[in-house]
Structure 1
Amino acid sequence: MKQGLKIAFGILLAVIVMAFTPIYDIYIKDRIDSVDVVVVKAGNEIEATEPITADKLQVESRRKQDLVEGTILASDINQVIGYDAGQLLVGNAIISKNMVDYDKLVPNEKDGEAIRPIVSDMIFAMPGSVRRKDTIDIYLVSNSLIGQYAKEDSAASSSSSDKKKEAVASGATLKNPLLTDVKVVYAKDSSNKEVVTDTETKSKEENERLNATGNISDLEVILNQEDFDKLMSAVIENKNKLYITYN
């Protein structure tokens, strides 16, 4: 190649690079380093427990380095619409999965809901496999049945005692439940630690709920004031105990 052509080619290449650099920085770089995500529209807020509606959302491109774990991508926008917000969502905020109350674990104050305790002294029997996020039904075991169980249990072996307890409880379940579809926020042991599945000791053949990190003592559930008053009246005033099952 002649010297003149080499110089001309070098100059042309330099011009192309200089022209391409701002185009890359302005148009191409952002597209390569960004992704379309779901955000709250500017000027809007979604309160905790408020349903997330499409009119308060929009899709924007955001840099990948600004994304948080569980960010909702534009293609997954239907995974949040219709669910309640788990916290206050402000304008321009990127929405992630941990901001959405998929499991209905946030009490709705407008409906009088709060997290209420069910302590061990109130419970006659419940499955040891109850876990956080479960939905439970609550039945009553009458004071007379409790007395019958206690009298028979005093002379029984531990194995027959368990059978008698199951029989008394099963008799109680023939009646209508006191409360249904109650959401469990926490299942705790006597030291106030959450009881979860012990994955380290679970074998492949075992149900994941069979091994736990402790024995359940207390539950924390979501109840409105009316249902909580009904529960406390049944336990304190009428001296009933609670038999709990989960769905």
Structure 2
Amino acid sequence: MKTYFDPIVLPYQKFHDTPQSKYIDSYTFLKLVGNVENKSLLDLGCGGGFYTRIFREQGANPVVGVDISEKMLEFAQEKEAQHPLGIQYLLKDVTELEQIGHFDLVISSYLLNDFSTPEQLLKIAQISSNNLKEGGRFIGINENVQQLPETYSVCRQYGYTKELLGDFVEGVQIRVTYPVPSETLPLIFQNYYLSRKTYESAFRQSGFKKFIWYPPQVSPEGQQKLGWEYWQDFVKYELIVGIVAIK
């Protein structure tokens, strides 16, 4: 299965070395997920397995990662071969995933912002619900596609750009461009605007009892190294968001 992620496997891994990834994305995500000791975990859109490995190392078991990109999963499986953790990886379009278990946790990183219609979002919410135990949690971090376009210029302070490719209505494409250290070409992602109401409705229709939005959080190390003033606009305008839904 060839996808637009296949040619950018190695540059994409370098994104995890950026200040945003180290001091906000990972910190926020790990805090929302919390203690994973002896909890079963399904990672939808696992990519190269960055978070899949982290949560397995923290004690989650069993851990399954699913992704549509053959090259991304090759990278993940190479890491698994170098440092065996017992992670299972499945090459599959997450929107076509059947019920493969009843997990304590279903997670996703920058997956939901790929969907352009309420129907697509509803489908992934239903797939998440079908693979969760009663009382299980879906946890995700997402590009804040609901960020008002007039504040997109703030993103430049953190080394990337956002561009609205049409009127600010549901389904409009948002181009996000990240320069990557030591890479000639930037990473370019196509995200889509869907309202918070649409997100909440999709999960509630899928059997989730609670749906909670969370702002980004800055790690103590990030504040110490770069200062709160550096990060305050990132937090103020919520350039990324956390999502927790409880079944």
TM-score, normalised via structure 2 length: 0.23
Greater share of helix:
2
Tell which structure's C-alpha radius of gyration is larger. 1
TM-score (norm 1): 0.23
